[in-house]
Amino acid sequence: MAHPPVPDPVGPTDASRVPRYAGIATFARLPRLEDVPRADVAIVGAPFDSGVSYRPGARFGPAHVREASRLLRPYNQVTDVEPFAAQQVADAGDLAVNPFDIAEAVADIQRGAEHLTRDGTRLLTIGGDHTIALPLLRNVAAQHGPVAVLHFDAHLDTWDTYFGAPVTHGTPFRRASEEGLIDREASLHVGIRGPLYAREDLRDDKRLGFAVIASHEIELDGLAAAIDRMLARLGDRPVYVSVDIDVLDPAHAPGTGTPEAGGLTSRELLAMLRALSQVNLVGADVVEVSPPYDHAQLTAVAAAHVAFEILSAMAPAR
Helix, strand, coil tally for the chain in percent (to 5): 40, 20, 45
Contact 130, 288 (CB under 8 A): yes
Angle formed at CA 286 by CA 1 and CA 298, multiple of 5 degrees: 150
Computed over its alpha carbons, how large is the radius of gyration of the chain? 18
> What contacts 296, CB < 8 A, 6 or more positions away?
none
The reply, when asked if residue 153 is annotated as ligand binding, is yes
Contact 97, 108 (CB under 8 A): yes
Q: Which of 114, 132, 125, 211 is nearest to 176 (CA)?
A: 132
The 8-class DSSP code of residue 6 comes to: P
The reply, when asked if residue 130 is annotated as ligand binding, is yes
The reply, when asked if residue 244 is annotated as ligand binding, is yes
Contact 277, 314 (CB under 8 A): no
Helical pair 266-274 and 223-234, crossing angle rounded to 10 deg: 40
The reply, when asked if residue 94 is annotated as ligand binding, is no
The reply, when asked if residue 246 is annotated as ligand binding, is yes
- Residues tagged in the binding site annotation: 130, 153, 155, 157, 244, 246
Binding residue ranges for Mn(2+): 130, 153, 155, 157, 244, 246
